[in-house]
């Protein structure tokens, strides 16, 4: 199984999905497509993830089983400059996977090429038709449910969840990962895109995943989405909070973030306010507590300053915290397990 990641003109800083697959995916990445960086290697930018050559297009890829679109422009559309690569992948019999709002399956040319060459199109963001309302029973599974919750979008919930899951797994803990968004689904090759589920069924979709996996493990790490005070996405967050019936919460935040990204009129409330909001809102359905924190310090230059930021964060929310990418995760994991 060899996979190619499409990340034209956006690798690595604006290619969150591609980078996460390089960091956390189990499959071998044959190449990254980025016409702006052709000739370089992944390792030139990111020393701590799987290395791979960067090439200009599918012409330069010798063999591949699957092409994954690893970027998503604002609005989630399909950019026509990607079409030649997707076309060539399908003509060569490769499967093509994407997490865009624009569905590959609804594109006539891609549909026809996939049929002709026996390739699969996987629109990760297209929920199945058989979803329904939550029964309010996620807490009945054997596993302890750990959910990441955030102060905003893009503060590192998926990364924190994944780091916690992998660290627990490396310790020999029997645990599973419940993906709720496109990147997590691509990494796990399974999951439901909660933000695309109709709102009546959003909690039910989370519950469905937990019921499918919850009796196979001692812990489930559920990837959170959005923020409970996000002007647009709070409903998704609330559905996950109540659908997951989490036993423990991990509060994720980015150092220096002061307002909701893209909604600068909405200032973030204080960190203890978030703790109260998440705990108080969860309690009538299933009591839970924020037991740890994850602080994303990507914008803090020195390790010293980042350590101070993490220590301050832990103080304010009164639980152990770390930056799970930059620093040790042990204390946080202790608080969870």
Output 51 or 287, the one with its CB closest to a second copy.
Answer: 287
User: Which is it for strands 259-260 and 2-6: parallel, antiparallel or unpaired?
Assistant: unpaired
**Dihedral sign (CA 282, 238, 326, 124):** positive
Could you tell me the smallest distance in angstroms from the CB atom of residue 177 to a second copy?
Answer: 21
Could you tell me the smallest distance in angstroms from the CB atom of residue 243 to a second copy?
Answer: 8
Output 27 or 289, the one with its CB closest to a second copy.
Answer: 289
- Interacting positions 280-299 with a second copy (CB under 8 A): 280-281, 283-285
Could you tell me the smallest distance in angstroms from the CB atom of residue 45 to a second copy?
Answer: 30
CA neighbours closer than 13 Å in the CB half-sphere of residue 65: 6
Count the site residues for a second copy by CB under 8 A: 44
Output 127 or 324, the one with its CB closest to a second copy.
Answer: 127
Which pairs count as long-range contacts for 78-82, CB under 8 Å and 24+ apart, including other chains?
A: 78/102, 78/104, 78/107, 79/8, 81/8, 82/6, 82/8
Q: Counting contacts by CB under 8 A, is residue 249 touching a second copy?
A: no
From 29-37, 79-87, 228-236, 291-299, give the range in contact with a second copy by CB under 8 A: 228-236
Beta partners for residue 144, in sequence order: 219
Which of 32, 58, 164, 194 touches a second copy by CB under 8 A?
Answer: 194
The CB density around residue 333, as the number of other CB atoms within 10 Å, is 20
Among 127, 119, 67, 74, which residue's Cα sits nearest to residue 98? 67
Q: Counting contacts by CB under 8 A, is residue 208 touching a second copy?
A: no
Could you tell me the smallest distance in angstroms from the CB atom of residue 187 to a second copy?
Answer: 21
Q: Which helix (H) or strand (E) holds 197?
A: none
Q: Counting contacts by CB under 8 A, is residue 268 touching a second copy?
A: yes
Phi, psi angles (nearest 5°) of residue 291: -105, -10
Could you tell me the smallest distance in angstroms from the CB atom of residue 159 to a second copy?
Answer: 21
Output 81 or 132, the one with its CB closest to a second copy.
Answer: 132
- Cβ atoms of 326 and 309 within 8 Å: the answer is no
Angle at 178 between CA 104 and CA 42, to 5 degrees: 60
Could you tell me the smallest distance in angstroms from the CB atom of residue 180 to a second copy?
Answer: 11
- For tokens 């108080």, name the residue: 280
Could you tell me the smallest distance in angstroms from the CB atom of residue 246 to a second copy?
Answer: 13
- Site residues for a second copy per CB under 8 A: 133-136, 194-200, 202-204, 228-239, 241-243, 260, 263, 265-269, 273, 276-277, 280-281, 283-285
């Amino acid at each position: 199984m060899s996979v190619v990641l499409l990340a034209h003109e956006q690798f690595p800083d604006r290619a969150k999905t591609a980078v996460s697959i390089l960091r956390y995916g189990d499959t071998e990445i044959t190449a990254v497509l980025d016409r702006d960086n052709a000739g370089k290697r992944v390792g030139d930018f990111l020393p701590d993830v799987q290395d791979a050559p960067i090439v200009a297009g599918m012409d330069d890829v010798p063999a591949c089983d699957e092409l994954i679109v690893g970027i998503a422009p604002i609005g989630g559309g399909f950019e026509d400059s990607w079409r030649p690569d997707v076309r060539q992948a399908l003509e060569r019999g490769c499967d093509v996977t994407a997490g865009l709002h624009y569905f590959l399956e609804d594109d006539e040319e891609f549909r026809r090429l996939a049929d002709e060459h026996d390739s699969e199109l996987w629109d990760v963001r297209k929920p199945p038709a058989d979803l329904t309302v939550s029964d309010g029973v996620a807490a009945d599974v054997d596993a302890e449910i750990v959910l990441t919750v955030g102060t905003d979008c893009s503060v590192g919930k998926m990364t924190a969840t994944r780091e916690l899951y992998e660290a627990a797994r490396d310790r020999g803990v029997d645990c599973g990962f419940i993906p709720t968004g496109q990147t997590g689904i691509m990494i796990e090759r399974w999951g439901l895109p909660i933000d695309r589920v109709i709102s009546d069924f959003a909690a039910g979709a989370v519950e469905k995943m937990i019921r499918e996996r919850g009796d196979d493990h001692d812990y489930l790490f559920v990837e959170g989405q959005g923020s409970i005070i996000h002007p647009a996405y709070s409903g998704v967050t609330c559905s996950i909070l109540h659908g997951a019936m989490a036993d423990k919460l991990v509060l994720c935040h980015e150092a220096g973030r002061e307002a909701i990204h893209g909604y600068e009129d909405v200032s973030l409330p204080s960190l203890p306010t978030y703790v109260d909001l998440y705990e108080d809102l969860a309690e009538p359905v299933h009591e839970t507590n924020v037991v740890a924190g994850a602080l994303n310090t990507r914008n803090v230059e020195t390790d010293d300053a980042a350590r101070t930021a993490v220590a301050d964060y832990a103080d304010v929310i009164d639980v152990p915290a770390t930056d799970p990418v930059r620093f040790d995760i042990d204390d946080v994991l202790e608080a969870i397990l």
